Amino acid sequence: MKPLDPRLLRHARAARRYIALTTVLGLASAGLVVAQAILVAGAVAPVVDGDAGWAEVAPLVGWFAVVALARVLVTVVQESLAHRAAADVVAELRGSVLARAVALGPRGLREPTDVVMLVTRGLDDLEPYFVRYLPQLLLAATLTPATLVVVAGLDLGSAAIVAGTIPLIPVFMWLIGVLTQRFAADRLVAMQRLGAQLLDLLAGLSTLKALGRERGPGTRVRALGEAYTRTTMSTLKVAFLSGAVLELLASIAVALVAVTVGMRLVYGGLDLTTALAVLMLAPEAYRPIREVGTQFHASADGLAAAEQAFTVLEQPLPPAGTDPAPTVGALVLDGVGVLAPGRDVVAPAGLSVRVAPGRVTALVGPSGGGKTTTAMLALGLLRPDTGRVLVEPATGGAPVDLAGLDPASWHAQVTWVPQRPVLVPGTVADAVVGESGEVDGRAEAAARASGLDEVLASLPQGWDTPLGQGGSGLSLGQRQRVALTRALLDPAALVVLDEPSAHLDAASEQRVLDVVSALRDQGRAVLVIAHRPMLVALADDVVEVLSSAREPAVAAGGGAA
């Protein structure tokens, strides 16, 4: 990623405002730095030469105090803008990445990217880029040229030394930056791998504990943690060394200016006022560029995360249907097959099934056969590589292809109950009946049917019990009952359930079976992924979902492609 990537301006409006304001503040800072140096030189030199006293230089000292205060205010305003812009840009990019990832679908990303880690810990690393790195980059584009012009007006020889040595710093910055960026990219990958491993471990911890294998993944997590530590320390080592190199270059360059100015001052080739002004302005010419190199390592992690965010944002969306979905009668999967990502396997392979209203269709089969993928096809989140997904209108007529329907109008007619329901923060009533939170007789009846009434009886505030992020405050089984109650209240014609009785005891499983039966009795078309025998026995239609090896493509000439 470039130091100031145009894509950042394109995808984050807050960045455009911040850069415009920081450029103006940079120009103001450049003027104040020059004025401060000239005022100090004009006040000190006459006193040293004995040509003036305190009375003559007091006005210059007063103006110097005003300029110094103005410079402090500019710095404070710039810091405040930087923190606010960082928060705004990160929030804007998070929303954009999440929206694009949802629009792309669960398998729409061309490159493997952990979106969860990217929009949380990853994009948070953009804050040092905005607070430390970018202001110095803009100062290097404003303060350094302004200072060089003023030095040239004061002493052309010193300006030639500054102009000849300044390019050395960007060259070394580029060499160091390439190495630092590689380490930062490796660190981000290690962090994402560690986060994904921990999420998988936490998600399956109950199963691992039941099998007595909860300590097994600890070795893998420890190895990933150590790899993350190594990449972080490598990045810091390069960053510290780069700072030392840039400081050495800048110090040598300033020393060259100081030696030449000092020699000319001794031999009378330069007056004291000019010499002092040049000596104070020369370090200011190098400072922004030196700070850019010093702060680059702090922004490298954010730049790597932003690069991944742009990869997601710039990936073209698949074509979406525009026709409004008809009132759903039945859903037909006609010979559908989906190529498993990263494997030469089609899962499911050639699956044909009709999910009819008033019937429960159970998907069974081995792990990896494509049951969850089939549910995604039914939900419209995936498109089959072969075959079609058709919707039969409840009013009759020819079936329509799901690929041509508007996703929003289709999702309005589908209820999805995942194996691990996700509940947004609020109350139990909000999670069941929506934002209105009004619990009526239908909600009470649905709660009794799902067994949620037993859960409510154990909660101190009943329907008004607050829930945290993801439904924290309720057990997995209790969250499952909340989701099932919500499905009973939702009038959607198609209900898709992913192993709703998993991780439940016998009594809770019976409640789930009662809910599935109630959905069928309501005339819904129910598609359920099932493993437990009792749920399979309840189904009207049982369909085995299998995978198969992908057949090689055949070229026009008849040979294998």
Kindly state the average pLDDT of the residues 181-208: 66
Q: Give the model's confidence band at 553: pLDDT under 50 very low, under 70 low, under 90 confident, else very high.
A: very low
Give pLDDT, residue 178.
64
Higher pLDDT, 367 or 198: 367
Q: Which residue has the higher pLDDT, 431 or 224?
A: 431
pLDDT of residue 235: 65
Range with the lowest mean pLDDT among 120-124, 309-313, 353-357, 535-539?
Answer: 120-124
Which positions ≥6 away from 292 have C-beta within 8 Å?
3, 133, 136, 137, 140, 173
pLDDT at residue 555 in the model: 31
- Higher-confidence residue of 51 and 524: namely 524
**Cis, peptide link before residue 128, omega less than 30° from 0:** no
| pLDDT value of position 286 | 80
pLDDT, residue 332, reads: 94
Choose between 341 and 453: higher pLDDT: 453
Q: What does each C-alpha distance from 58 to 39, 42, 47, 130, 213 come to in angstroms?
A: 11, 11, 11, 39, 80
Q: Which residues contact 440 (CB under 8 A, 6 or more apart)?
A: 433
How high is the pLDDT of residue 527?
Answer: 95
Q: For residue 55, what are the CA distances in angstroms to 47, 60, 61, 122, 273?
A: 11, 10, 10, 58, 18
Q: pLDDT digits over 340-392, tens only?
A: 766 677 888 889 999 999 999 999 988 888 898 999 999 988 889 899 999 99
**What's the pLDDT score for residue 561?**
28
pLDDT above 70 covers a percentage of the chain that reads: 81
- Tell me the Ramachandran region of residue 212: left when phi exceeds 0, alpha when psi lies from -120 to 50, beta otherwise: left
Q: What is the pLDDT of residue 298?
A: 62
Averaged pLDDT score across all residues of the chain? 81
Q: What phi and psi values does residue 114 have, to the nearest 5 degrees? A: -80, 95
The residues with which 285 forms a beta bridge, in sequence order, are: none
pLDDT of residue 289 exceeding 70, the answer is yes
CA 484/CA 465 separation, integer angstroms: 18
Report in angstroms the alpha-carbon separations of 522 from 326, 412, 517. Answer: 19, 18, 9
Query: What average pLDDT score do residues 193-201 get?
Result: 67
Residue 347, amino acid? A
Q: 171: which 2 tokens? A: 């060259």
Nearest-angstrom CA–CA distance, 174 and 293: 9
In degrees and rounded to multiples of 5, residue 343 shows phi and psi of -135, 150
- Banded pLDDT at 557 (limits 50, 70, 90): very low
CB 94 within 8 Å of CB 169:
no
Tell me which of 392 and 137 has the higher pLDDT.
Answer: 392
pLDDT at 559 (0 to 100): 33
Least confident of 74-78, 175-179, 283-287, 433-437: 175-179
pLDDT in tens, 238-250: 666 666 776 777 7
Contact yes or no for 126/306 (Cβ under 8 A): yes
Q: Regarding predicted confidence, which is higher, 344 or 281?
A: 281
Tokens 């599935």 sit on residue? 516
* pLDDT at residue 451, as a whole number: 86
pLDDT at 243: 64
Residue 305 has a CB neighbour count (10 Å cut-off) of 29
Q: What is the mean pLDDT of residues 60-87?
A: 88
Q: pTM of the prediction?
A: 0.62
Residue 274 has pLDDT above 70, yes or no: yes
Across residues 217-236, what is the average pLDDT?
Answer: 71
388-440 pLDDT tens trace? 999 999 888 899 999 899 988 999 999 999 888 888 888 888 888 876 667 88
Q: Is the pLDDT of residue 268 over 70?
A: yes
Q: What percent of the chain has pLDDT over 90?
A: 16
What is the structure's pLDDT at 152? 87
184: left (phi over 0), alpha (psi -120 to 50) or beta: alpha
The DSSP line for 467-516 is E-GGGTTS-HHHHHHHHHHHHHH---SEEEEE-TTTT--HHHHHHHHHHH
101 with 312: CB under 8 angstroms?
Answer: yes
Query: What is the mean predicted confidence (pLDDT) over 2-31?
Result: 81
Confidence check: pLDDT of 554 > 50: no
For residues 198 and 132, which has the higher predicted lDDT (pLDDT)?
Answer: 132
Identify the weakest region by mean pLDDT among 373-387, 426-440, 477-491, 536-550. 426-440
Examine the pLDDT at 329 and tell me if it is beyond 80: yes
Q: Which amino acid is at 49?
A: D
